[in-house]
């Protein structure tokens, strides 16, 4: 849980940092700049450099919208959606591998059904995140590059922290196995001492 929320918050933080440092104009920035009456044939003498300045935009009623219109890269909705989706899906996929490799006595058909069901469940978060990403393109809020960058950013932090979770779980499991082996050795040595005393 800690790893999930940590990678989620880091994804949000770096998304906001990139929006401020890199930014870029949203596809609907012209609408924000010229107002609701804007059409492609709207007559204007403004140059591109003037449009890039909030002070030169004819629509000055909503400055917050103009400022937000410069924060297209990367897509925040996409990065947050995929942040949860990647982590959950990859964790479930990893769990299916552990089930397949497990030595627990489960008959093969039952094991196969469980693995298939988990794999189907694992795909669901990715479908939802993809829907969110496509909706940002359809609404002209972001470009393909913005959406792709948000997804890659989410994938990076998800993989980093999921790797730590998996490694941590493996270390705990190995430590448990080692403790069990040491305990068996102690019991074996104790039995040998008892047998030696009986022999003497």
The string of pLDDT tens digits covering residues 124-181 is 999 999 999 999 999 989 999 999 999 999 999 999 888 887 776 554 554 554 455 5
Q: Is residue 50 part of a domain?
A: no
Per-residue confidence (pLDDT) for residue 4, from 0 to 100? 87
Q: Is residue 61 part of a domain?
A: no
Q: Is residue 22 part of a domain?
A: yes
CB atoms inside a 10 Å sphere around CB 31: 17
Q: How is residue 47 written in tokens?
A: 């140059």
Please name which of 5, 166, 165, 1 lies closest in space to residue 80, comparing C-alpha atoms: 5
Q: Is residue 85 part of a domain?
A: yes
Q: Is residue 36 part of a domain?
A: no
Tell me how many domains the chain contains. 1
Q: How is residue 126 written in tokens?
A: 């990715």
Q: How many residues does the chain have?
A: 200
Query: Mind listing the pLDDT tens digit for each residue in 8-41?
Result: 999 999 999 999 998 888 888 888 887 776 665 5
Please name which of 166, 33, 171, 26 lies closest in space to residue 93, comparing C-alpha atoms: 166
Q: Is residue 63 part of a domain?
A: no
C-beta separation of 149 from 74 below 8 A? yes
**Per the residue annotation, which of 94, 142, 176, 188 is the catalytic one?**
142
Q: Is 142 a catalytic residue?
A: yes
Query: Mind listing the pLDDT tens digit for each residue in 49-64?
Result: 555 666 667 777 778 8
Cα separation, 169 vs 159, in Å, equals 15
C-beta separation of 51 from 165 below 8 A? no
Residue 2 pLDDT exceeds 80: yes
Please report how many Cα atoms fall inside a 13 Å half-sphere around the Cα of residue 37, on the Cβ side.
Answer: 5
Q: Is residue 115 part of a domain?
A: yes
Domain range spanning residue 177? 2-28+69-199
pTM value?
0.72
Q: How is residue 134 written in tokens?
A: 């496509």
Q: Is residue 11 part of a domain?
A: yes
């Amino acid at each position: 849980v800690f790893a999930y929320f940590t990678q989620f918050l880091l994804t949000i933080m770096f998304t906001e940092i990139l929006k401020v440092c890199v930014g870029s104009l949203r596809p609907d920035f012209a609408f924000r700049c010229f107002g609701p009456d804007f059409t492609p044939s709207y007559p204007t003498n403004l140059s591109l450099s003037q449009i890039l300045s909030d002070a030169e935009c004819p629509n000055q009623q909503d400055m917050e919208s103009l400022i937000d219109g410069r924060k297209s890269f990367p897509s925040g909705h996409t990065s947050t959606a995929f942040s949860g989706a990647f982590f959950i899906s990859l964790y479930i996929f990893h769990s299916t591998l552990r089930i397949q490799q497990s030595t627990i006595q489960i008959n093969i058909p039952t094991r196969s059904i469980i693995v298939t069901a988990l794999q189907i469940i694992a795909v669901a978060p990715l479908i939802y995140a993809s829907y969110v990403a496509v909706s940002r393109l359809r609404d002209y809020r972001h470009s393909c590059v913005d959406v792709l960058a948000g997804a890659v950013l989410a994938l990076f932090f998800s993989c980093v922290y999921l790797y730590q979770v998996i490694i941590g779980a493996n270390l705990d499991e190995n430590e448990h196995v080692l403790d069990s082996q040491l305990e068996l050795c102690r019991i074996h040595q104790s039995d040998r001492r008892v047998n030696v005393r009986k022999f003497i």
